[in-house]
Amino acid sequence: MSLTSVQTALAAACARAGRSEASVTLIAVSKVQPPDRVEAVLTSGHRSFGENRVQEAAGKWPDWTARFGAVDLHLIGPLQTNKARAAVDLFGTIQTLDRPRLANALARLAQERGACPDLFVQVNTGAEPQKAGVLPRDADAFVATARALDLPVIGAMCIPPDGADPAPHFLMLADIARRNGLPNLSMGMSGDFELAVELGATHVRVGSAIFGERRPG
Ligand SMILES: *Cc1c(COP(=O)(O)O)cnc(C)c1O
């Protein structure tokens, strides 16, 4: 596919769901892609991107934003507490808030800076032991904890288990967001972003369908 074909498919999914195109942000996931592919998408005017490693992103984006102008950059991979400072310097949105220790670190940085990136709580909807994210049964309490720290929690994010039907995971995330008053839902990747839009996604994270397959490793 390509950026244009993903945009076309996304617009059609919005139309089928009776939603406006403006209600869904397409995040182009640029992790480990060759620079020329990312620069082509920047040149086309696209401005929302996702990265899953702080260090990798810090090595690429300051140069790109100097050349192409500001972008809307989302952290979509796990965040170690000792990288929180670098992350808040670089990202406008952190989608992977998932534990009290990280919430405390972000709250301290927010105090110090008088500003904080927008935050999504990552929910491990499949309760997979190896995967980041708060467990579904702990989600409500964790959102309350983050809010008590005055953190700007604006949404929920999930990555369904590999090979599973994503629909029940998207529905579970939408339910968690609704009952916690979170207006944004980050769900849907290259293989399932149209379904995610049907089930209420406000942010879809699409990598390989825009840029091509990532190189292995
Ligand atoms: C890599 C990644 C994506 C994009 O995956 P594709 O299948 O290439 O679209 C989306 N979300 C997260 C959290 C990722 O790490």
Return the ligand 1 atom nearest residue 95 CA: 13
Cα separations (Å) of 126 from 28, 134, 180? Answer: 24, 10, 19
Backbone angle region of 47, left / alpha / beta, with phi > 0 → left and psi within -120 to 50 → alpha:
alpha
**Is the distance from the beta carbon of residue 208 to the nearest atom of ligand 1 less than 6 Å?**
yes
Which pLDDT score, from 0 to 100, does residue 12 have? 98
Query: Is any ligand 1 atom within 6 A of the Cβ of residue 30?
Result: no
Q: Ligand 1: does its nearest atom lie under 6 Å from the Cβ of 206?
A: yes
28: Cβ below 6 Å to ligand 1?
no
The reply to whether ligand 1 has any atom less than 6 angstroms from the CB of 189 is yes
**pLDDT score of 214:** 82
Instruction: Tokens 């592919």: give the residue.
Output: 37
Q: Judge if the beta carbon of residue 106 lies within 6 A of ligand 1.
A: no
Residue 53's H or E segment, with its range, is: none
Please name the residue whose Cα sits nearest to atom 10 of ligand 1.
Answer: 205
Task: Name the token pair of 21.
Answer: 């195109």
Cβ of 192: how many Cβ atoms within 10 Å?
A: 21
The atom number, within ligand 1, closest to the CA of 159 reads 13
Asked if 131 and 124 touch (Cβ cutoff 8 Å), the reply is yes
- In one-letter notation, the amino acid at residue 166 is P
Q: Which domains does the chain have, with CATH numbers?
A: 3-211 (3.20.20.10)
Please, which residues bridge with residue 93 across strands? Answer: 74, 118
Identify the H or E element spanning 84: helix 84-90
177 close to ligand 1 (CB < 6 Angstrom): no
Nearest to 122 by CA among 82, 74, 173, 178: 173
How many CB atoms sit inside 10 A of residue 51's CB? 23
Q: Which residues fall within 8 angstroms of residue 60, CB to CB, at 6 or more apart?
A: 30, 35, 38, 51
Going from the Cα of 206 to the center of ligand 1, the distance in angstroms, rounded, reads 6
* Beta bridge partners of residue 156, listed in sequence order: 121, 185
Ligand 1 centroid distance, CA of 213 (Å):
11
Tokens coding 87: 């992350």
Sign of CA dihedral 41, 56, 99, 126: positive
* Mutate-to-test residue for ligand 1 from 38, 123, 170, 189, highest number of ligand atoms within 8 A of CB: 189
Atom of ligand 1 nearest to the CA of 189: 9
Q: Which tokens sit at 44?
A: 């086309």
What pLDDT is attached to residue 216? 63
Give distance in angstroms: CA of 112 to centre of ligand 1.
32
Check residue 1 and give its pLDDT: 73
Show the low-confidence residues of the chain (pLDDT under 70). Answer: 216-217
CA of residue 160 relative to chain centroid, distance? 13
